[in-house]
Chain A
Amino acid sequence: MSKTLFDKIWDRHVVKTIEGGPSVFYIDRHFIHEVTSPQAFKGLQNRGLPVFRPKQVVATADHNVPTINQHLPIREELSRRQVEQLKKNCADFGIELYGLGHPFQGIVHVIGPELGITQPGMTIVCGDSHTSTHGAFGTIGFGIGTSEVEMVLATQCLMQSKPKLMRINVEGSLNKGVVSKDIILHIISLISASGATGYAVEYAGSTIRNLSMEARMTICNMSIEMGARCGMIAPDETTFNYIKGRTFAPRGSDWDKAVEDWKTLYSDEDAVFDSELNVRAEDIEPMITYGTNPGMGVGITGHIPALNDIEEKDRPSFEKSLHYMGLTPGEEMKGKKVDYVFIGSCTNSRIEDLRMVASFVKGKKKAADIEVWVVPGSSQVEKQAIKEGLNQVFEEAGFMLRQSGCSACLGMNEDKIPAGKYCISTSNRNFEGRQGPGARTMLASPLTAAAAAITGIVTDVRELI
């Protein structure tokens, strides 16, 4: 019987199916960070349990960490305590920790792939909804809550019901100035912030095949922003070339066996999906969001919908959202004033993102009254950026290159956007208060963010390249 990519990986990981209920589902790799793990370890202690397979768990500190002066103790007491608790839990339970000061430290969804821990065919979970990122390698990767973190620590398994399957085909060539972030913002604007809830999504088509691994990760990362359980892309030569030689990648004859297996991971030609969406790459413009969920986005030359374009029952939420943003229905996004630019987060903080920004801003200067933060996704990305001289390009442009962490994506560490200020952000969520209480977030690609950094206003990057 023909199978989808998802089916093939799912079937390999079912330990047992309960009649009329979920399956006992085996997890190959479990990433943990400081925010969603302490109560899980506490649960193990209360039950007197060890971690069942500590070698399949990897920890890092990313959400709470400052992104300057990381060699100093964390100033904020609660953040410091949470990071210290992670260190203690990892030591007590025998888990490898890539904490602050470790050369492998970084955002959990950046370091997994970068170190070659994330490999095709795996099941990967983390107490973090952006675990969907790892699907770019042909894995089933999804976010879980803390009770589930405890289950995986205790048994390496979860109770899972099989989701429905959706395929999104993107065909054709991308327009100038359009990058993978624009593809996913475009898709979410088409199907809404809940349009893929209950589904596992496979991205396919020529446009996707031609993307680099970094660009594929950006797309899979935001699958959760349309409600999907996970997002995935079948592995191919691009995937294999990315993994080969990385720290934890298979070597020698193991590598050959691995690739042979990975090559079987694709959706069979006549595999059936519960839902399919076709998208033409030519239709995609550089995107920007105007509202307070990631589905509220438009092409950069577009307008915010007028009130009449919104169904009556949805109007109160729409108006609440625009009120928060200080924007008016029907108006144009181009030309809006921007106060902050944040280039970073698990969506867009990889070396390719930093290179893209550097190559665009080289020889340009930021606008006078704007603050620009470039936050690498890992200590290795930071090191590489400096090795390539990108730090000098940023310095000359007036951009501040910081140290690795989640930073201004979620208002949990020191990097926050002040109330009422507008930030163009390459992160994944424009929810109210996401970047700090009262902060107003507009999501965009690294290129569109960089263009705004230069002009100080929402800008069509195509006019500058």
Chain B
Amino acid sequence: MGKAINIIKSRAVPIAIENIDTDQIIPARFLKATTREGFGKNLFRDWRYENDDEQKPKPGFPLNDPKYSGKILIAGENFGCGSSREHAAWAIKDYGFDVVVSSFFADIFKNNALNNFLLPVLVSDAFLRQLFKAVEEDPETLIEVSLEDQYIKIVATGARESFDINHYKKTCLLNGYDDIDYLLNMKEEIEAYEKNHALSYRS
């Protein structure tokens, strides 16, 4: 069961790098847990710490920069490519983000994010550059995201862009439903499908 989301108004953390793959978001050696909790502390582990040492944070990395904080992560295009590990979405959510903004998301990551009430907001290249600029120039910049009205806005300037999300997913996120609830209610139709589509050569 997830936590419903709608309007998020917050400062943002900018990571202006393209093609951030899920191995960077959460390296494979941290995938050995058998629960969903606690991945946030290893979010971007190898970009955050020198030699895997928590005592040695890399000063240039935005998560280590005290001037940045908030519930919104802004990242370069093709965010979440590579491995299908849902641990990447868990790590981002567990760290405290509710929204990821990029100009392009990898497919599997996008689904994983939606299944964890982490909202992927797809913006144009130009708007993404505007967001980076605003937050880098003034880290206290507030960003407002409304799922209901499907827009993202820089509060101070009013610059805004609308984003797409399919109606079904939007309803799920606003109400805290997940796909599995929906599918479980379809049992009879699924069984009927199986009867009609049984292939004689496949036992």
By a beta-carbon cutoff of 8 Å, the part of chain A in contact with chain B is 12-13, 15-16, 18, 20-22, 24, 26, 28, 35-36, 38-39, 42-43, 47, 49, 63-64, 78-79, 81-82, 85, 119, 121, 127-129, 143-148, 150-151, 154-159, 161, 163, 193-194, 197-198, 224-225, 227, 229, 250, 254-255, 257-258, 261, 293, 314, 316-317, 320, 410-412, 429, 431-434, 437
Contact = CB atoms under 8 A, between A and B. Distances in A.
B196 to A, nearest CB: 10
B76 interface: yes
B108 A143 contact: yes
A222 B184 CA distance: 33
Count class of interface residues, chain B = 35 or more
B84 A127 contact: yes
Given A82-B32, A147-B180, A254 B200 contact: yes
B78 A197 contact: yes
Contacts of A314: 18
A121 B197 CA distance: 12
Max chain B Cβ within 10 angstroms of own Cβ: one of A81, A121, A194, A257: A194
Contact of A157 (B51, B52, B190): B190
29 contacts: A21-B168, A24-B189, A36-B85, A38-B35, A43-B180, A64-B32, A79-B32, A127-B86, A143-B84, A145-B108, A145-B115, A146-B36, A151-B179, A154-B180, A154-B184, A155-B180, A159-B179, A161-B166, A194-B19, A194-B106, A229-B107, A254-B203, A258-B201, A261-B201, A293-B81, A317-B19, A410-B28, A412-B31, A432-B46
A293 B197 contact: no
A403 to B, nearest CB: 19
B166 A20 contact: yes
Contacts of A18: 168
Given A148-B115, A151-B179, A437 B23 contact: no
Interface in B11-69: 16-19, 21, 23-24, 27-29, 31-36, 46, 51-52
A155 B186 contact: yes
A24 B183 contact: yes
Interface in B66-109: 76-78, 81-87, 89, 104, 106-108
A193 B201 contact: no
Nearest to A254: B201
B78 A227 contact: yes
